[in-house]
Amino acid sequence: MVSKAKQEAIARYNKQNVRRVTVIFSPLDRDIQEYLESKDSMGGYLKKLLREDYERQRGEG
């Protein structure tokens, strides 16, 4: 069990350093939602795709 002080420190760190992004899927996107949910890490998979796209875009400019 994590102490109250540790929980507060983690919450403080997250508030200052971590950004949360919400993705909304419509019923028409159910196929890609299910595909994303099948991945071991949804966040990791999305970040990998974004990094690849970002690098590709930087290379074109």
Distance CA 20, CA 40 (A): 19
- pLDDT of 60 over the 90 cut: no
Dihedrals phi, psi of 46, to nearest 5 degrees: -65, -40
Full-model pTM:
0.75
Task: Enumerate the domain spans of the chain.
Answer: 19-60
15-59 pLDDT, tens digit per residue, is 999 999 999 999 999 999 999 999 999 999 999 999 999 999 998
pLDDT at 1: 87
Distance CA 21, CA 46 (A): 11
Distances 45 to 24, 52, 53 between C-alpha atoms, Å = 16, 11, 12
pLDDT at 61: 65
